[in-house]
Amino acid sequence: MTDDLYRLTIGELGVLLKNKEATSKDILNSYIKRIKEADPKVSAYLYNDFEEAERNAEAADKIIASGGGFSPLTGIPLSIKDIFLIKGKKTTCASKILDNFISPYDSTVVRKLKENNYVFLGKTNLDEFAMGSSTENSAYKTTRNPYDLNRVPGGSSGGSAASVSADLCAGSFGTDTGGSVRQPAALCGVVGLKPTYGLISRYGIIAFSSSLDQAGVLSKDVTDAAIMLGAVAGFDEKDQTTRRFEVKDYAGIVKKADKSLMKGLRVGIPVEFFSEGLDPEIGSKISEIKALLKELGAYIVDISLPDTKYSVADYYIIATSEASSNLERYDGIRYGYRYKEEDGNGMQNLDGLYRKSREAGFGNEVKRRIILGTFALSAGYYDAYYKKASLVRKLIIKNYKDAFGKVDVIIGPTSPTPAFLIGEKTADPLSMYLSDIYTISVNLAYLPGLSMPVGTVKNPSKQGGVLPVGLQVISPWATEDRLLSFAKIIEDEVKFRENAGFRKLDI
């Protein structure tokens, strides 16, 4: 049996399993070897659970042998961002305040993955409470970009993106509140899909900003993204913000995607996504894609999303307001970290317990956002901040609605820059916040968005090294089928994975 099964996609592994050319155990062993080799350099995982993985693989192999209940994720080893609850497993959200928190229940996403008999490889690193764009805000470790170990993988799903990019899993589940799946996917050269708000249940996903959070998938290619989405999408009676959308056979639809679909398709290019701050090399990569699309028969339409210039400011009011409330439950009373008297002085009463537990339990970025959000909601400021932000959000929604009256999909860069150096932006939160300038408005408008690798730029700090560039594709509400098909056609043309010049990992 070939040793580098870990390089394959979920789609490819599925064929091997189905044809009994490999067992889930074979695939798992290949991943375990790869993880032991490469993860010490990348630090994508917070922890692995190979015993659990072996049990899962054995169970999957039995099912496959019996010939029943086979799904595209059966026997496939996946990593999970440490923001999803898994019964009996540690879930920290990369925060000290949830150190040693063992979840007593399964998130809906994980419940569905278990029903598909997936193989659980381990939990991946993230920015604490998903707050960040580099994974440097993790309380536990710094994850590195597989293309350059001195650079960040992006965030907050940086561990997930790095684990897919470095072939430390077949695919990974992350979450995207303002770009947390798409931006790290772009920086690590993988596919990242954030579906329409309400398509995947949030039940059992630790909340950062309830009206913006959405689970997403990070995968080696577009077909895998479609497979993974299909396995977890759908209405959940435990999450009243999920919708009764029709869950389509995304993988089947993607399989049929043909370049002829591009003929006459209207592709919007928002002028606001090519403003100052965009790395010119990334700009020219996106222009190449524009040319490619024209060649395939698509119409390129210049459009404007005038109010998206407010999206970063808008996002940091709405997201921090909701976060300030969502994080109130971490009070040291029922679970998680509680400040102990012997750890120091100052806990004479209940207020002291709250203050000390939260002071020691939360990291700086989380505290900064709790303070921002508390301010934005407080009496006397509510109208000027939270209320106004809600109105601006409506304008942004309308911008997109108007745009989708003229075009079928919108494209642009995912991130204004390629992966930056570790430590480069940690002292300047504002410049860090701008990493998500092109992704944030998609969350504000509840729309589906996808990032896919479309090439590389030279790595200025590493001789002969390259850094991936992500193309962002945005489609109308609940049109994941269109989004994925469009991306698949581009993928077939660009052939990112097959191109040795693109895939130059630093491992």
Instruction: List residues near another protein by CB under 8 A.
Output: 84-85, 91, 93, 98, 101, 103-105, 107, 202-207, 209-211, 237-241, 321-322, 324-325, 327-329, 331, 333-335, 350, 354, 374, 377-379, 382, 386
Nearest distance from residue 123's CB to another protein, in Å?
14
Q: How far is the CB of 99 from another protein (least distance, A)?
A: 13
Cα dist from 26 to 2, 94, 499, whole Å = 9, 31, 26
Q: No. of H helices and E strands in the chain? A: 16, 11
CB 107 within 8 A of CB 203: yes
Neighbours of 222 (CB within 10 A): 28
Please identify, using beta-carbon distances, which residue of 329 and 398 lies nearer to another protein. Answer: 329
Shortest distance (Å) from residue 181 CB to another protein: 18
Residue found by looking up tokens 């537990």 in the block: 357
In whole angstroms, how close is the CB of 432 to another protein at the nearest point? 24
**DSSP letters for 378-421:** STTTTIIIIIHHHHHHHHHHHHHHHHTTT-SEEEEESSSSSPPB
Nearer to another protein, 98 or 139 (CB): 98
Query: 431, 110 in Cβ contact below 8 A?
Result: no
- Which residues belong to the active site? 81, 156, 180
Nearest CB to another protein, comparing residues 103 and 456: 103
Report the C-alpha gap between 476 and 97 in whole angstroms.
38
H or E element: which one contains 470?
strand 466-474
Q: Is 266 helix (H, G, I), strand (E, B) or coil?
A: strand
How far, in Å, CA of 253 to CA of 230, rounded? 11
Q: Based on CB atoms, which residue is closest to another protein, 162 or 318? A: 318
With beta carbons less than 8 A apart as the criterion, state whether 390 and 318 touch.
yes
Nearer to another protein, 138 or 417 (CB): 138
Sheet holding 449-458, edge to edge: 45-48, 119-124, 77-81, 171-176, 214-219, 191-194, 449-458, 466-474, 409-413, 266-270, 299-303
Please report, in angstroms and rounded to a whole number, the separation of the first and last CA atoms in the chain.
Answer: 24
Q: How far is the CB of 334 from another protein (least distance, A)?
A: 6
* Residue with tokens 């989004």, as numbered in its chain: 483
Query: What is the nearest approach in angstroms of another protein to the Cβ of residue 455?
Result: 37
Strands 191-194 and 449-458: antiparallel
Question: 3-state DSSP helix/strand/coil percent for the chain, to nearest 5?
Answer: 45, 15, 40
Q: Which is nearer to another protein, 50 or 382 (CB)?
A: 382
**Least Å from the CB of residue 84 to another protein:** 8
Q: Quick one: 47 or 105, whose CB is closer to another protein?
A: 105
